[in-house]
Amino acid sequence: MKLLLFCLFLVRSCHGNSKPDSPHFTSIFSFGDSFADTGNLVVLATPVLKDIWIDMPPYGETFFRHPTGRCSDGRLVLDFLAQNFSLPLVPPYLEHNSSFEQGANFAVAGATALDFAFFVNNNLSSPFMFNGSLSVQLGWFADLKPSLCKSYEG
């Protein structure tokens, strides 16, 4: 069930110093499911599940050489886009240990467009489904926004 498709915002400089026609983007914000998740599901699932299959080989083995939380043995389309724009690989938002100045990834593998509560209330959820639906991802973005572009807002 793939209800939430890959969605990506490329943001030009907040500081107004990029030329209007320049293809130069300064950050990437990504929302979505396993097509784009670079580690959020693992953060959500770790306290609940013992063995998280995407956190074990062969996941990650062809490029990163270790599991990264991506549902892939290599890079995702999002990774190729980031590299192509000379930006860092987009860090998962829930791993709060990197700077989000150049972007953040809110995608959660298995995420749905409908709220998680809908699935719980209709007995449609599964032990592998976590509360990272689109509205939650947008909420995380709203939480992060004040710390971005401070000089622009100020």
Ligand X SMILES: *[C@@H]1O[C@H](CO)[C@@H](O)[C@H](O)[C@H]1NC(C)=O
Considering only residues 64, 87, 131, 141, which one is a binding residue for ligand X as defined by CB under 6 A? 131
Q: Which is nearer to ligand X, 126 or 151 (CB)?
A: 126
Q: Quick one: which of 16, 58, 123, 154 contacts ligand X (CB under 6 A)?
A: 123
- Where in 31-90 is the site for ligand X (CB under 6 A)? 84
> Of 36 and 82, which CB lies nearer to ligand X in the complex structure?
82
Per DSSP, the residues of 8-31 read: EEEE--TTS-S-TT-----EEEEE
Among positions 97-116, residues that touch ligand X (CB under 6 A) are 97-98, 116
CB-CB contact of 8 with 143 (8 Å): no
Report the alpha-carbon distance of residue 63 to residue 130 in Å, rounded: 27
Q: Is there a contact between 90 and 28 (Cβ–Cβ < 8 Å)? A: yes
Cα-trace Rg, the chain: 16
Q: How far is the CB of 152 from ligand X (least distance, A)?
A: 25
Judged by the rule CB under 6 A, the positions of this chain that interact with ligand X are 84, 95, 97-98, 116-117, 120, 122-123, 131, 136, 139
